[in-house]
């Protein structure tokens, strides 16, 4: 019987485990992939929007010579933090359901890579699953072709190719700037009037210059209607239909949290945004003893919670667990 089982070994899950451990609670983290898997899935050369201080957990300094740290630095940092606190982490083991028992304890049912099933007992459960496993699909013909991906890792495979980028967020802009360096021909298709207002301020001027020079062909107020092996079809809001020659498509349309674990143990989801009902002061859901931490707390709006804010959820959770134990 563990005091706390945390599902998800992202920064927010690690922070929750650290804060609970500091208060003498026994913890185990269940992670279906590798440590901080969402960060691992970021583009290889990605630089964070945040400063290192805002990514720190467990009062461990994040050393970096850069104004904003890079992905590879974050992977190293979180590995070292997990090692420093000797966190108990079961990697490559998926939590498939959470069962609440009549005595108000929980059983977490898991399955590892070999298919072996396990069950863990806990007095409290924290669900801190990320969202990079579940891209927002467009739902158009051809989206399932091999030439289409919802993940951009690095530019090299697209050297000299005709690449379409669907989206106008930081991920889309960053990808386009990397693709320019390998001589790709870039079409960026976005339904808004312009790219996101939240583009990194040190990237935006260079991106806009590339658009003005014709290095990036920007199709705003447009949507992709169909993808074929050698082209794709876009339609403007005015109804204009255009076919573009194309080799690869990066559908960078964002991701959404997986809510099946919340549903498995009876957590209510609020409205169209499917935001779990919880107390923001304690992070406890309406199921006593079950908490949410990190981006899963934001429902469909994955831009509502970031590492900077989600890393603090662990303190609220640990303090609330200790207060409930004191009452008993």
Reported as a single tens digit per residue, the pLDDT across 216-246 is 999 999 999 999 999 999 999 989 999 999 9
Q: What pLDDT, on the 0 to 100 scale, is given for residue 131?
A: 74
Longest dimension (CA), the chain: 68
Residues of the chain with CATH 3.50.50.60: 2-133+255-327, 148-251
Using pLDDT thresholds of 50, 70 and 90, give the confidence band for residue 160.
Answer: very high
Interacting residues of 192 by C-beta distance below 8 A, sequence separation 6+: 168, 220, 221
Q: Which two tokens stand for residue 15?
A: 């922070």
Where on the phi/psi map is residue 115: left (φ > 0), alpha (ψ -120 to 50), or beta? left
Q: What is the pTM of this model?
A: 0.87
CATH of domain 2-133+255-327: 3.50.50.60
Query: Looking at the chain, which runs of residues are DSSP E strands?
Result: 2-7, 27-30, 89-90, 93-100, 106-112, 117-127, 148-149, 162-166, 185-189, 216-219, 222-227, 231-236, 241-245, 248-251, 269-270, 275-276, 290-292
Lookup result for tokens 């990190």 = 294
Q: Is the pLDDT of residue 327 over 80?
A: no
Q: Is the pLDDT of residue 302 over 70?
A: no
Interacting residues of 213 by C-beta distance below 8 A, sequence separation 6+: none
Taking only the tens place, the pLDDT of each residue in 73-127 is 999 999 999 999 999 999 999 999 999 999 999 999 999 999 999 999 999 999 9
Element (H, E) at 210: helix 204-212
Topology of domain 148-251, CATH: FAD/NAD(P)-binding domain (3.50.50)
Using pLDDT thresholds of 50, 70 and 90, give the confidence band for residue 303.
Answer: low
- Arithmetic mean of pLDDT, 158-170: 96
Element (H, E) at 19: helix 11-22
Q: What pLDDT, on the 0 to 100 scale, is given for residue 210?
A: 96
């Amino acid at each position: 019987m563990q005091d706390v089982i945390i599902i998800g070994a992202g920064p927010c899950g690690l922070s929750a485990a650290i804060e609970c451990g500091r208060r003498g609670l026994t913890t185990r983290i269940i992670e279906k992939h590798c440590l901080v898997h969402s960060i691992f899935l970021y583009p290889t050369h990605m630089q964070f929007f945040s400063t290192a201080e805002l990514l720190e957990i467990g009062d461990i300094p994040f050393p970096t010579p850069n104004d904003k740290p890079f992905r590879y630095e974050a992977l190293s940092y979180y590995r070292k933090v997990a090692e420093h606190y000797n966190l108990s982490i079961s990697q490559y083991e998926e939590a498939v359901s959470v069962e609440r028992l009549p005595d108000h304890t929980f059983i977490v049912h898991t399955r590892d890579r070999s298919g072996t099933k396990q069950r863990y007992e806990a007095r409290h459960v924290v669900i801190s699953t990320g969202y990079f496993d579940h891209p927002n699909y467009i739902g158009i013909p051809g989206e399932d072709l091999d030439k289409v991906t919802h993940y951009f890792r690095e530019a090299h495979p697209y050297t000299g190719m005709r690449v379409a980028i669907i989206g106008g967020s930081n991920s889309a802009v960053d990808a386009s700037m990397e693709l320019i360096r390998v001589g790709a021909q870039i079409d960026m298709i976005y339904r808004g009037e312009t790219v996101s207002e939240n583009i990194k301020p040190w990237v935006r001027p260079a991106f806009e210059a590339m658009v003005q020079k014709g290095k990036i062909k920007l199709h705003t107020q447009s949507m992709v209607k169909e993808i074929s092996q050698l082209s794709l079809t876009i339609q403007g809001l005015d109804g204009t239909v255009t076919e573009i020659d194309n080799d690869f498509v990066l559908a960078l349309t964002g991701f959404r949290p997986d809510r099946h674990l919340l549903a498995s143990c009876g957590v209510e989801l609020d409205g169209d945004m499917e935001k779990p009902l919880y107390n923001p002061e304690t992070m406890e859901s309406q199921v006593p003893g079950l908490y949410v931490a990190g981006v899963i707390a934001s429902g469909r709006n994955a831009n509502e919670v970031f590492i900077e804010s989600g890393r603090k959820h662990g303190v609220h959770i640990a303090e609330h667990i200790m207060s409930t134990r004191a009452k008993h």
